Copies of this chain bind each other. A is one copy, B any other.
């Protein structure tokens, strides 16, 4: 049996079984050391799978740190220390310098630091980062409670549109297109939500694969039924313009487009914070499964092997 027959998430289940580890399955792994909850996570970027060689190396460096911080934030934590493991062809040193300027800029922004790493040779560029964070209260994917509302930060679908635009490699882009491209190449982990998530969220996940898949992760891990309303899903003006121009449906981008690195979380309605760009898009009930406008929600997010 090939990996593609069970998919990325089928494989994770198999590995979880072999390790017989109950801790696997969240955005970060919480481990207790001396009464402190530390959070461990890793995310990797591979040339031609996550980025192209023609991207400025600074944005690639920025992104690899951001996507790791995003997982720490989804667990209610602050990022502290990172390691960066590089597999590189014999490329220009200047490229790697650019990468590290981006890494450094991101670390300053998020308040963490790179304390080590590794270098090996390979045919394609692979940038693997590991992040250690900490929190007073670990927020998992499995704490959603019947009665909770489902919220999402920011807008969804922008990064997917941005990627499509970028891959056209046009010489000129309109302003709204540049904004979408920026969302793809320079996502920002929602550190402005840390306090809110840590204090109030019953469950949280960052949307890396796409809303339709990540709602399923929450529902399955929490053992609850989650329903969303398509009309409530926040999409940007830029995405609307893009979809109008190309005859596309913003909802499809919001449901299937990964890499927005927004947060999806649940808590009672009275915890709503009007000072954050959070939007209620659904609710949690007893039961199981994920639904959109009353129909089964099909997980159509990104899977590396599907």
Judge whether A23 is part of the interface by a CB distance below 8 angstroms: yes
Besides the known contacts A21-B114, A126-B128, 17 further A-B residue pairs in the complex with CB atoms under 8 A apart: A2-B90, A2-B93, A3-B88, A3-B96, A15-B96, A21-B113, A38-B132, A41-B83, A42-B117, A42-B130, A44-B87, A46-B122, A83-B130, A85-B128, A85-B130, A120-B304, A123-B123
Selected from B14, B23, B46, B93, the residue in CB contact (under 8 A) with A115 is B23
Q: How far is the CA of A33 from the CA of B81 in the complex (A)?
A: 11
**8 A Cβ contacts from A1-45 to B:** 1-6, 8, 11-12, 14-15, 18-19, 21, 23-24, 26, 28-29, 31, 33-36, 38, 40-44
At the interface with chain B, which of A97-105, A233-241, A254-262, A275-283? A97-105
Residues of B within 8 A of A305 (CB): 90, 121
**B29 & A93 in contact (Cβ 8 Å cutoff):** no
Contact surface of A with B, Cβ cutoff 8 Å: 1-6, 8, 11-12, 14-15, 18-19, 21, 23-24, 26, 28-29, 31, 33-36, 38, 40-44, 46, 49-50, 80-81, 83, 85, 87-88, 90-94, 96-97, 100-101, 103-104, 113-124, 126, 128, 130, 132, 134, 304-305
